[in-house]
Amino acid sequence: MNNTPSPTRRIWYHYPYVLPADVLSDEPTHENDPSSLREEASCDGLCYLKLTQSFHDGTHLARVAASPDALHTCSYTIVVNDAQLAKARPWHALLAKSA
């Protein structure tokens, strides 16, 4: 299985993407806190992501949140790999508002 994005696919930094929440960990965040990143940063099986930096090794630093608006106010820093990023699709605000 190829773990890298297609060479014709462009990845845009600081642009919102939507992806399945199963890319986020469902493990408890702390020993005394049973919540998980998946629980906190997703809604209805989806999460929203903005890439902020590439590590040039197939991994990227990103911010993730339960809504596109929350990317600016209540997001979490994560590292995603190219296989996880392959599940991401650009989020189009105008299309989402008309749905």
Place of tokens 């599940």: 87
Task: Work out the pLDDT band at 44, boundaries 50, 70, 90.
Answer: very high
Query: Looking at residues 13-39, what average pLDDT do you find?
Result: 92
**Mean per-residue pLDDT over the chain, rounded:** 87
Going by C-alpha positions, the residue among 60, 59, 52 that lies closest to residue 16 is 52
Looking at residue 95, what is its pLDDT?
Answer: 62
The C-alpha atoms of residue 16 and residue 69 are separated, in whole angstroms, by 10
Over the stretch 54-95, which tens digit does the pLDDT of each residue have?
999 999 999 999 999 999 999 999 999 999 999 999 998 656
Q: Dihedrals φ, ψ of 16, to 5°?
A: -75, 135
CB-based contacts of 22, cutoff 8 Å, min separation 6: 38, 45
